[in-house]
Chain A
Amino acid sequence: MKNLREISTRLEIAKKKIKPSLNKNKGTNAASLGNALKISTELVAAVLVGSLFGFILDSWFDTKPFMIICFFFVGVAAGIQNVIRSAKKMNKNIEN
């Protein structure tokens, strides 16, 4: 049990050495970097899926350029909505 007590005192000394602000900052940095990487692809993916949707509908109904144009813009709208939604989620996380 002597070993355990020694470990706990060493832990306490080590904990005191860590500055609280430094420790906190590190966690949020990684999370925000993850968010930054996340948000950029969300826009592109929705545009891609929308255009693909339009392309498939075009080849079904034989209305060559129209559906793909319409669904491109719908995809853009969906992408922007995705970005707004994740930005709102990020805001909520910061406030809490």
Chain B
Amino acid sequence: MSTNPMHQFEVYRVGPEINISGINLSFTNASFFMLISSLLILLMLFLGTKKKLLIPTKMQLMTEMSYTFVAKMINDTAGSNAKPFFPFIFTLFMFVLFCNMVGMLPYSFTVTSHIIVTFILASLVFVGVTIIGFIKHGIKYLELFVPKGVPVVLLPLIVIIEIISYLSRPVSLSVRLFANMMAGHTMLKVFGGFVISLGLLGGWLPLGFSVALIGLEILVAFLQAYVFAILTCIYLNDALNLHH
């Protein structure tokens, strides 16, 4: 039994090694759990929309609630202009949510606790939003870096600050998700280790903590998916409507 709390984040190869021109493209446990999460989303949406009843079953209710939740979120934060981007944000939200939730099951692997995964997701959002902004406003999109009513002397400094603050968006988006997931899972493992090492006499206290922490972690798993999606909406709003 491994007592190392970081052992759970190890990525290893599942199946044969695939090497294409020096790049290791083998199927790992991370890819396996991403696949499981995607399949679970597809299964839920498929089962939920199979029978379209007026009085919904629990499955249909869950599907409809996730749809209205994301639709309302987009409408509230990014306005009706952002309606065409609903499929992207819905996919993003459901993927992050299911990766987090699948990671809560015992013996599973949390894909979002690796910064490379969250950073790729965040840079996808960042690059996409920047391209949308330039398509929508052309070169005027650069006005985002020049706030109104700033004295000319301060302008170079302000522009640099604005650019850094713009570039920090994908970093803050990815670090937040990664750090929350990794810290939570490490903490759970550490408390689990306490239960074993304190034994039958003193192990009950950390066991209680573990139970409480699992509840907290499920809340965090949902909340991080929500924050990820809502920040995507906010960035989209900046790109579409261009004023802050």
Seen from chain A, the residues whose Cβ lies within 8 Å of a Cβ on chain B are 3-4, 7, 30, 33-34, 37-38, 41-42, 44-46, 48-50, 53, 71, 74-75, 77-79, 81-82, 85, 89
Contact B176 A85 (CB under 8 A): no
Contact A37 B172 (CB under 8 A): no
Q: Kindly state whether residue B224 has any CB partner on chain A within 8 Å.
A: yes
The closest CB in chain B to the CB of A35 belongs to B227
What's the dominant secondary structure at chain A's contact region? helix
Query: A42-B172, A45-B172, A45-B175 known; A81 and B165 CB under 8 Å?
Result: yes
Contact B223 A74 (CB under 8 A): no
Kindly state the separation between the CA atoms of A49 and B223 in the bound complex, as whole angstroms: 25
Q: Kindly state whether residue B54 has any CB partner on chain A within 8 Å.
A: yes
User: Considering residues B168, B169, B175, which has the most beta carbons from chain A within 10 angstroms of its beta carbon?
Assistant: B168
A49 is contacted by which of B162, B164, B179, B234 (Cβ under 8 Å)?
Answer: B164
CB distance from B216 to the nearest CB of A (A): 11
Contact B165 A78 (CB under 8 A): yes
B175 is contacted by which of A3, A30, A33, A44 (Cβ under 8 Å)?
Answer: A44
B171 is contacted by which of A30, A45, A71, A81 (Cβ under 8 Å)?
Answer: A45
Residue numbers in B under 8 Å from A41 (CB-CB)? 172, 175-176, 179
Pairs A-B, 5 closest by C-beta atoms: A45-B172, A46-B168, A78-B165, A45-B171, A78-B164
Kindly state the separation between the CA atoms of A4 and B56 in the bound complex, as whole angstroms: 12
Contact B176 A37 (CB under 8 A): yes
B223 is contacted by which of A30, A50, A81 (Cβ under 8 Å)?
Answer: A30
Residue numbers in B under 8 Å from A3 (CB-CB)? 55
Kindly state the separation between the CA atoms of A48 and B237 in the bound complex, as whole angstroms: 25
Contact A81 B55 (CB under 8 A): no
Kindly state the separation between the CA atoms of A78 and B172 in the bound complex, as whole angstroms: 13
Kindly state the separation between the CA atoms of A50 and B42 in the bound complex, as whole angstroms: 40
Q: Kindly state whether residue B155 has any CB partner on chain A within 8 Å.
A: no
A74 is contacted by which of B160, B179, B230 (Cβ under 8 Å)?
Answer: B160
Contact A7 B55 (CB under 8 A): yes
The closest CB in chain A to the CB of B164 belongs to A78
Residue numbers in B under 8 Å from A4 (CB-CB)? 54-55
Kindly state the separation between the CA atoms of A96 and B162 in the bound complex, as whole angstroms: 27
Contact B168 A48 (CB under 8 A): yes
| A-B CB contact pairs (8 Å), 15 listed | A4-B55, A7-B55, A34-B227, A37-B223, A42-B168, A45-B175, A48-B168, A48-B171, A53-B164, A71-B164, A78-B162, A78-B164, A79-B168, A81-B165, A89-B234
